[in-house]
């Protein structure tokens, strides 16, 4: 089940978005659950209960807490990088602050149904890529982590350090053993000792990647070209 | 007196009198590896070059121990490199390489002289020939290395330059044989050799200057075109802003008019009036307004051009108001991609002229994606589609500029054709 939150105080926009989501779900026969919030505060309350939607259509302008603050709360305070945020605005001009929240897209009012449906489809595709579970052995125990929550793996001798949104762990293995099952989920090797989740990178530069938790992962000289090419391929495929 | 101890043979005098050519060659090498603007102190640099010349002559005349000669040479070049910001390892590498190239040329020539009778067959003064040739080839190599380094920095060197320099080199090679083989008295001989080298240095210097000047004039031309384009873009931007202002100001009056028409029962006229109003609004809202004035004006300018060419543009632009891409580079990428697409689309019938443009900032990167149908075949040259177009004599304006800019931002350009669609994806790291 794919869950969508719509947060806007503009009634016509909310009902239009709901309609777009419902007709998309019917057309593609996918189960989508929608929930509407008229203010950022009510959405925060819901998030605090542990509920984590797959996608939020979020208006920027609100009388009290605004869309940017809510975005910051999700990304920084909750350390949640997996929920896709799509900003809705009547403007086309956006400050850098908004981009720092790493939104999936921006929808401009009046909303074009096709554009909104395309964005929804993109969010569903991206979530689908990382919806699986990753399993590893720690001692005699089998541990499971949601692929979407993994930031990166780091090889440390005979052990692997796995860093997730919720912390980190160590287990025996090598990068090559984790490569196979995760390559299709948009994981890549920027360095021979690292295996990184593409969607958990918050800033790309040619020689380093800043992860969503602030960690820096180096991009080794021989892999820079591959990393650049890979970004073009991924972005061209994922682009709306 | 120390110099009394060593004989001053004509060969030794020739070496000493042309030692300055060696110093000048080192200077050319250093200029190739370091940018002259990064020089810390001009006085220090000049002093070291003079000291190097003096020390080299002194060691050659009075010490004559190969290891000392080597140490002095490498050491002095190293002292010169201290005048520039650079990692230590690079300094050492450059110092040794500059000396090694010279030594290698000398060795090869020496080997050539030993193994063959070529020099003695064509020249009566074999040692003179090899001394002059060593200097000439070393100088020539430095000039070539300098150009190659500039080429890597993005300078465009015309093909004719290489032709001129090759002809010059061969010509000077022949002259060198003539001079060293002539039966001139010793004094006129040294004078001729000196003039010969001065002439050589000046020739290379002016040839270099010529290429730089041409490069500069092309840059000026490009920036003139750029400025002209900006001016036009700004005026279009202002025009659209004015229209919006007038529309807002006029809205109340327009509404009264519609109200009047409706009240009088003239529904057709009212509807017509509303249609005119929405038409104007649609035209205004079609324009791009990201808040990034430079991008907006450039794209709106290109959109109006597209309209004139009856090209329908579907654009999706999501960028911050400000980010780390220089406006010149932005114009180089976006402007050239538009021009490139327009060129291809103009060859198509009007109903097929569609262009999809996506410009998106995401996580420190800028993605620029252009997709358009094309007709005919694409001729590829070095991985770039070759363009037959030349603007005002500027070569390579077009996709190659996109590649140069992408390289500047450590980015990537991908060009692909699927069926009848031509797609360019550019990624730049913009922070």
Give the bridge partners for A172, in sequence order.
Answer: A159
Confidence tier at B394 by pLDDT (50, 70, 90) = very low
Cβ within 8 Å, pair A232-B414: yes
pLDDT (0 to 100) of residue A119:
93
- Give the DSSP H/E element, type plus range, for residue A174: none
Are β-strands A84-89 and A55-59 bridged in parallel, bridged antiparallel, or unpaired?
parallel
If asked whether residues B67 and B184 sit together in one domain, one would say yes
Tell me the count of A-B CB pairs closer than 8 A. Answer: 78
The closest of B137, B165, B164, B163 to B21, measured between CA atoms, is B137
Query: Same structural domain for residues B211 and B301?
Result: no
Contact A92 B360 (CB under 8 A): no
With cut-offs at 50, 70 and 90, classify the pLDDT of residue B122.
Answer: low
Average predicted confidence (pLDDT) for chain B: 79
Closest Cα partner for B364 from A145, A17, A231? A231
Across the interface, whether the CB atoms of B412 and A201 are under 8 A apart is answered no
Q: With a cut of 70, say whether residue B280 has pLDDT above it.
A: no
Query: What's the CA angle centered on A134, arms A131 and A139, to 5 degrees?
Result: 155
Judge: B427–A235 Cβ closer than 8 Å, yes or no. Answer: yes
Contact list, B290 vs chain A (CB under 8 Å): 92-94
Same domain, B316 and B424: yes
CA distance A85 to chain B (A): 13
**Final residue in a domain of this structure, among B204, B221, B238:** B221
Contact A96 B320 (CB under 8 A): yes
Predicted confidence band of residue B384 (pLDDT cuts 50, 70, 90): low
Report pLDDT for B84. 86
Number of domains in chain B: 2
Q: Is residue B230 part of a domain?
A: no
Distance from CA of A67 to the nearest CA of B (A): 16
Q: What is the pLDDT of residue B390?
A: 37
Q: What per-residue confidence (pLDDT) applies to B395?
A: 35
| Partner B contacted by A29 (CB < 8 A) | no
- Record: contact B321-A231, CB cut-off 8 A: no
Label residue B388 by pLDDT band (50, 70, 90): very low
Kindly list the residues from chain A whose CB atom is less than 8 angstroms away from the CB atom of residue B288. 92
- SS3 breakdown of chain A: % helix, strand, coil, rounded to 5? 40, 35, 30
Q: Does residue B303 share a domain with residue B167?
A: no
pLDDT 10s digits, A174-210? 888 888 878 888 999 999 999 999 999 999 999 999 9
| pLDDT value, residue B381 | 64
Whether A159 contacts A171, CB under 8 Å: yes
Q: Do A204 and B363 touch (CB under 8 A)?
A: yes
pLDDT tens per residue across span B362-377 = 999 999 999 999 887 6
Element holding B39 (H helix, E strand): none
Chain B residues within 8 Å of chain A (Cβ atoms):
288-292, 316-323, 358, 360-365, 367, 369, 410-412, 414, 423, 425, 427, 429, 431
User: Tokens 């200097």 belong to which residue?
Assistant: B135
pLDDT in tens, B44-103: 888 989 998 898 888 888 887 888 888 888 898 899 888 888 888 888 999 999 888 988
Q: Which has the closest alpha carbon to B214: B167, B141, B164?
A: B164
Q: Which of B167, B190, B221 is the last residue of a domain?
A: B221
Tabulate helix, strand, coil % of chain B (nearest 5): 70, 10, 20
Q: What is the C-alpha separation between A187 and A182, in angstroms, rounded?
A: 6
What is the pLDDT at residue B400? Answer: 77
Residues A204, B429 contacting (CB under 8 angstroms): yes
Residue B124: pLDDT band (50, 70, 90) is low
| Domain final residue, candidates B190, B221, B252 | B221
Give yes or no for residue A67 having a pLDDT over 90: yes
Q: Is the pLDDT of residue B258 over 90?
A: no
Look up the CATH number of the domain holding residue B307.
3.30.565.10
Candidates A93, A106, A202; nearest CB to B321: A93
From chain B, pick out residues whose CB is under 8 angstroms from the CB of A96: 320-323
> Quick check: B238 pLDDT over 70?
no
pLDDT tens-digit map of B288-334 = 888 887 788 788 888 888 988 899 999 989 999 888 888 778 878 88
Q: Is A208 on the interface with B (CB under 8 A)?
A: no
CB contact under 8 A, A232 and B412: yes
ipTM given for this complex: 0.90
- Residue B180 sits in the same domain as residue B300: no
Distance between A155 CA and the closest CA of chain B, angstroms: 25
* B412 contacts on A by Cβ (under 8 Å): 225, 228-229, 231-232
Between residues 65 and 94 of chain A, which touch chain B (CB distance below 8 Å)? 91-94
Q: Say if residues B314 and B356 touch (Cβ distance below 8 Å).
A: yes
Query: Which of the residue ranges A107-116, B118-127, B182-191, B380-389 has the most confident prediction, judged by mean pLDDT?
Result: A107-116
Are both B25 and B149 inside the same structural domain? yes
**Residue B204's pLDDT is what?**
81
Given an 8 Å threshold on Cβ–Cβ distance, is B291 in contact with A94? yes
Asked if pLDDT for residue A173 goes beyond 50, the answer is yes
Same-domain status, B36 and B160: yes
Taking CA–CA distances from A225, the nearest residue in chain B reads B412
Q: Are residues B212 and B338 in the same domain?
A: no
pLDDT(B6) > 60: no
| Residue B179 or B143, more confident | B143
Q: Is B282 part of a structural domain of the chain?
A: no
Instruction: Compute the average pLDDT of residues B344-349.
Output: 89
Q: How far apart are CA B27 and CA B153, in angstroms?
A: 19
pLDDT score for A224 = 93
Within a domain: B242 = no
> By CA distance, what is A87's nearest residue in B?
B318
Most confident option among B3-12, B14-23, B310-319: B310-319
pTM, full prediction: 0.61
Under an 8 A CB cutoff, do A92 and B412 touch? Answer: no
- The minimal CB distance from B429 to the residues A206, A229, A236 is found for A206
Q: Which residue of A has its CA nearest to B429?
A: A205
Helices A224-238, A113-129: crossing angle, 10 deg rounding: 130
Output A141 or A236, whichever has higher pLDDT.
A141
Nearest to A231 among B316, B423, B427 (CB): B427
Residue of B nearest to A106 (CA): B318
Domain-located, residue B56: yes
B140 lies in a domain? Answer: yes
Predicted confidence at residue B234, as pLDDT, reads: 62
B62 and B206 assigned to the same domain: yes
The CA–CA distances, whole Å, from B396 to B28, B158, B302, B332, B336 equal 28, 11, 20, 12, 11
The CA distance from B276 to B241, in Å, is 18
Asked whether residue B268 is assigned to any structural domain, the reply reads: no
Give the neighbor-by-neighbor strand order of the sheet with A208-211.
Answer: A201-204, A208-211, A216-218
Least confident of A51-60, A220-229, B114-123: B114-123
**Which is nearest to B164 in space by CA: B179, B147, B182?**
B147
**Which domains, from first to last, does chain A contain?**
2-129 (3.40.50.2300), 133-238 (2.40.50.1020)
Domain co-membership, B182 together with B105: yes
Domain that holds residue B396: 290-431
Q: Is residue B141 part of a domain?
A: yes
Nearest CA in chain A to B430: A205
A135-167 pLDDT, tens digit per residue, is 999 888 999 999 999 999 999 989 999 999 989
**Whether residue B71 is found in the same domain as residue B150:** yes
* Cα(A117)–Cα(B390) distance, integer angstroms: 43
B284 in any annotated domain: no
Residues of A in contact with B318 (CB under 8 A): 94, 105-106
Query: What per-residue confidence (pLDDT) applies to A85?
Result: 96
Distance from CA of B34 to the nearest CA of A (A): 23
d(CA B400, CA B80): 36
> Is residue B48 domain-shared with residue B165, that is, in the same domain?
yes
């Amino acid at each position: 089940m794919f869950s969508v939150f719509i947060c806007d105080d503009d009634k016509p926009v909310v009902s239009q978005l709901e309609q777009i989501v419902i007709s998309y779900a019917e057309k593609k026969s996918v189960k989508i659950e929608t929930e509407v919030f008229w203010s950022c505060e009510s959405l925060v309350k819901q998030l605090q209960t542990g509920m984590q939607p797959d996608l939020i259509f979020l208006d920027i302008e609100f009388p009290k807490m605004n869309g940017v603050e809510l975005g910051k709360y999700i990304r920084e305070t909750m350390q949640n990088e997996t929920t896709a945020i799509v900003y809705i605005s009547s403007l086309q001009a956006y400050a850098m602050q908004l981009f720092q929240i790493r939104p999936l897209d921006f929808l401009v009012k009046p909303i074009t149904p096709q554009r909104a449906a395309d964005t929804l489809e993109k969010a569903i595709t991206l979530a689908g890529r990382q919806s699986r579970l990753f399993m590893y052995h720690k001692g005699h125990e089998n541990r499971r982590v949601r692929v979407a929550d993994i930031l990166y793996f780091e090889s440390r001798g005979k052990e692997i350090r796995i860093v997730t949104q919720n912390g980190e762990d160590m287990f025996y293995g090598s990068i090559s053993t984790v490569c196979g099952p995760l390559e299709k989920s948009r994981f890549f090797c920027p360095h021979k000792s690292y295996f990184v989740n593409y969607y958990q990178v918050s800033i790309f530069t040619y020689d380093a990647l800043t992860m969503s938790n602030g960690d820096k992962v180096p991009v080794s000289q021989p892999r820079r070209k591959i990393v650049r090419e890979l970004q073009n391929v991924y972005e061209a495929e994922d682009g709306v | 007196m120390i110099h009394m101890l060593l004989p001053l043979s004509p060969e030794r005098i020739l070496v000493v009198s042309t030692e300055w050519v060696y110093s000048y060659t080192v200077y050319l090498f250093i200029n190739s590896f370091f940018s002259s603007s990064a020089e810390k102190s001009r006085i220090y640099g000049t002093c070291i070059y003079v000291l190097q010349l003096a020390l080299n002559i002194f060691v050659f005349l009075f010490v004559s121990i190969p290891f000392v000669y080597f140490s002095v040479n490498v050491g002095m070049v190293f002292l010169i490199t201290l005048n520039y910001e650079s990692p230590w390892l690079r300094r050492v590498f450059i110092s040794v390489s500059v000396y090694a190239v010279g030594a290698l040329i000398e060795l090869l020539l020496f080997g050539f002289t030993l193994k063959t009778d070529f020099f003695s067959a064509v020249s009566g003064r074999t040692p003179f020939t090899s001394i002059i040739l060593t200097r000439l080839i070393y100088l020539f190599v430095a000039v070539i290395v300098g150009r190659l380094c500039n080429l890597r920095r993005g300078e465009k060197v015309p093909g004719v330059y290489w032709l001129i320099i090759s002809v010059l080199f061969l010509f000077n090679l022949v002259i060198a044989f003539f001079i060293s083989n002539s039966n001139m008295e010793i004094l006129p001989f040294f004078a001729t050799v000196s003039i010969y080298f001065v002439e050589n240095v000046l020739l290379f210097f002016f040839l270099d200057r010529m290429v730089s000047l041409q490069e500069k004039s092309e840059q000026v031309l490009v920036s003139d075109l750029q400025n002209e384009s900006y001016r036009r873009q700004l005026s279009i931007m202002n025009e659209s802003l004015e229209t919006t202002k007038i529309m807002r100001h006029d809205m109340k009056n327009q509404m009264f008019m519609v109200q009047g028409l409706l009240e009088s029962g003239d529904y057709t006229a009212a509807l017509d009036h509303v249609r005119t109003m929405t038409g104007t609004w649609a035209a205004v809202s079609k324009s791009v307004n990201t808040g990034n004035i430079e991008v907006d004006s450039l794209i709106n300018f290109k959109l109006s051009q597209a309209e004139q060419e009856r090209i329908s543009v579907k654009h999706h632009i999501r960028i911050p108001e400000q980010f780390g891409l220089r406006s010149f580079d932005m114009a180089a990428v976006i402007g050239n991609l538009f021009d490139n697409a327009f060129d291809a689309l103009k060859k198509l019938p009007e109903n097929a002229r569609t262009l999809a443009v996506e410009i998106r900032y995401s996580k420190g990167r800028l993605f620029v994606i252009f997709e358009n149908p094309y007709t005919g075949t694409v001729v590829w040259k070095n991985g770039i589609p070759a363009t037959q177009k030349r603007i005002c004599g500027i070569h390579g304006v077009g996709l190659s500029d996109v590649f140069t800019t992408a390289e500047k931002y450590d980015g990537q350009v991908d060009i692909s054709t699927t069926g009848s669609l031509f797609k360019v994806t550019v990624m730049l790291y913009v922070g």
